[in-house]
Amino acid sequence: MTEPGGTVLVHGFASLGALIPPLRRGPVALLTGEDLGAARPELDLGWLLGDLAELDWAVPVSAHLDGPELPGVLLDAYGSGADRDLTGRAAVVRIAAHTRDFAAYCGWSDELADYTAFIADLIDEEGRRAVLGGATP
């Protein structure tokens, strides 16, 4: 981790779609490319948490799984150095960017109206829902 407010090497917009699971038990690979750079750690952390929040919103599976929730595991593994407010905001940007990409490349879908409402709620709460223990007050 870095000093609070400092920059680190980030994958840059890392997502679950860039993960390559092993064929057998072992480490997971993360594809990186031209987005690799220096930024605050909240960028990557928020991007992944936004990915998980969107997935949970679209296909709520957390109620059916035994064991720890993925956002909590990610936050625990990441440590205490990330600013939760900035992480939540990065999560909102990730979901908004994904929605924009979907609209641009796939065209209109009735699902986009639901995404717009979801994003509006996340903006109102500054992304706290995506950060463990950050439900709307």
What is the band of 9 on the pLDDT scale with cuts at 50, 70, 90? confident
Reported as a single tens digit per residue, the pLDDT across 37-82 is 999 989 989 999 999 888 888 877 655 566 567 788 888 888 777 8
Sequence-separated contacts (24+) of 124-128 with Cβ below 8 Å: 125/88, 126/85, 126/88, 126/89, 126/92, 127/46, 127/50, 127/87, 127/88, 127/89, 127/90, 127/91, 127/92, 128/84, 128/88
Is the pLDDT at 20 greater than 80, yes or no? yes
* Alpha-carbon separation of residue 39 from 9, 50, 123, 131 (angstroms): 7, 17, 22, 19
* 137 vs 27: which has the higher pLDDT: 27
Domain ranges of the chain: 41-130
100-134 tens-digit pLDDT:
998 999 988 888 999 899 999 989 888 888 887 54
Check residue 68 and give its pLDDT. Answer: 60
pLDDT digits (tens, 9 = 90+) for 75-106: 888 877 788 889 999 999 999 999 999 899 99
Residue 63 has a pLDDT of 57
User: Given a cut of 90, is residue 6 above it in pLDDT?
Assistant: no
